[in-house]
């Protein structure tokens, strides 16, 4: 099957051999305090900074998922409250989860077709939370908007969910203090691990809060990663696979150029399609990595069934758009030949 599901999505084909290599090397049985693991950890962190343009002053820690990062941010980085600005289901879920931990958390929703304008950030909040790429509806925040939030609220931490864009979009990491993502999307790996990226400013803020109540309190993570270790037995296989994939892929700027061009081609394709149209009409906020297409409920069901017969898996709609959309992952592991095969199917869908 060729999967265009937007997470878990297609893994790089070389991952099969990398998994065999991991088994043969014995790393799968290595203690996470051992020199063998520490060498892999150190190399992986160096490759993340080099290939994803992460400043050397930022710290990277391994977590179980992007969702776990919601909890870590609420526990270890939020002293008073967080303010969540969102236009889709995952941004809303982040707010609702944070509110369970920090009852003073506030939110501001905006329409998915609107260009973002952040207003009325409460004075008492110390963390502003943005979803750079909203997987549920196929929107993304322009880099200029993220920069404007940083400029207008310099005293607050800026935390950004980049779950469906890290590794596929040329994010400007220095624009925010905290970034997080999972590896099963643009990084082309199996699910089961996430990355949390933290600036020196956020680290200092965490030290002032001094949260050490939980197994995943950030300061525990930070202290261990300085030794190229983890605070608990990690997903050693995925760390190893991440290292191998980063060794083999192009630098992010090259990948991002390709993804951006593929996205433009996808949107042109659907703008000219007789019956299938992008859900998001505002070109300024269309996602480069998750293409969301709308049609009637019957049409969506028919297309997904036809694709399945051809060995192609499309992403289901999500949330409010569950029955009237399908989603297409535009991730780096997906090949031009696979895209061409799907477009051929969709061209013939009305014949």
Q: Is the pLDDT of residue 125 over 80?
A: yes
- What's the confidence (pLDDT) of residue 348? 87
Describe the strand order of the beta sheet including 277-278 as a list of residue ranges: 277-278, 290-294, 325-329, 315-316
3-state DSSP assignment of residue 60: strand
Q: Is the pLDDT of residue 350 over 80?
A: no
CB 105 within 8 A of CB 77: no
CB 177 within 8 A of CB 300: no
**Backbone torsions φ then ψ of 13, nearest 5 degrees:** -60, -30
CB 76 within 8 A of CB 219: yes
**Backbone torsions φ then ψ of 225, nearest 5 degrees:** -70, -25
List own/partner pairs for 263-266 with CB under 8 A and 24 or more apart: 263/287, 263/288, 263/289, 263/291, 263/330, 266/291, 266/328, 266/330, 266/339
Instruction: List pLDDT tens digits, range 146-159.
Output: 999 999 999 999 99
Average pLDDT over residues 166-195: 98
What is the CB neighbour count within 10 angstroms for residue 185?
31
Give the model's confidence band at 120: pLDDT under 50 very low, under 70 low, under 90 confident, else very high. Answer: confident
Residues ≥6 apart with Cβ < 8 Å to 350? 274, 275
Residues in the chain, how many? 351
Average pLDDT for the chain: 96
Q: Is the pLDDT of residue 351 over 80?
A: no
pLDDT over 70 percentage in the chain: 100
Instruction: List pLDDT tens digits, range 272-298.
Output: 999 999 999 999 999 999 999 999 999
- What's the confidence (pLDDT) of residue 349? 86
Average pLDDT over residues 92-108: 97
């Amino acid at each position: 099957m060729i999967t265009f599901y937007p997470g878990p999505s297609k893994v790089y084909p070389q991952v099969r051999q990398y998994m065999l290599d991991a088994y043969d090397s014995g790393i799968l049985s290595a203690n996470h305090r051992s020199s063998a693991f520490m060498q892999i950890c150190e190399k992986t962190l160096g490759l993340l900074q080099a290939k994803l343009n992460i400043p050397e002053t930022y710290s990277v820690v391994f977590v179980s998922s992007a969702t776990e990062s919601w909890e870590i941010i609420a526990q270890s980085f939020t002293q008073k409250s967080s303010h969540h600005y969102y236009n889709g289901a995952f941004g809303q879920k982040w707010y609702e989860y944070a509110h369970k931990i920090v009852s003073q958390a506030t939110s501001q929703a905006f329409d998915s077709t609107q260009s973002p304008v952040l207003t009325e950030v409460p004075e008492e909040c110390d963390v502003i939370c943005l979803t750079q790429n909203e997987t549920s509806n196929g929107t993304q925040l322009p880099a200029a908007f993220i920069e404007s939030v940083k400029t207008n609220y310099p005293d607050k931490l800026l935390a950004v969910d980049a779950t469906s864009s890290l590794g596929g979009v040329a994010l400007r990491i220095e624009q925010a203090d905290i970034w997080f993502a999972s590896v099963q999307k643009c990084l082309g790996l199996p699910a089961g691990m996430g990355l949390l990226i933290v600036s020196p400013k956020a680290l200092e803020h965490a030290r002032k809060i001094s949260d050490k109540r939980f197994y995943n309190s950030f300061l525990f993570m930070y202290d261990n990663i300085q030794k190229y270790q983890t605070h608990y037995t990690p997903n050693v296989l995925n760390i190893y696979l991440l290292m191998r994939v980063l060794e083999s892929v192009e630098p992010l700027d090259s990948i991002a150029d390709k993804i951006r061009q593929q996205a433009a081609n996808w949107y042109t394709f659907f703008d000219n399609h007789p019956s299938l149209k992008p859900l998001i009409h505002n070109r300024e906020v269309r996602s480069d990595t998750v293409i969301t297409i709308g049609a009637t409920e019957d049409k969506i069901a028919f297309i997904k069934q036809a694709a399945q017969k051809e060995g192609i898996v499309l992403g289901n709609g999500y949330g409010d758009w569950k029955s009237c959309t399908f989603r297409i992952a535009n991730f780096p592991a997906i090949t031009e030949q696979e895209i061409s095969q799907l477009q051929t199917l969709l061209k013939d869908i009305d014949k």
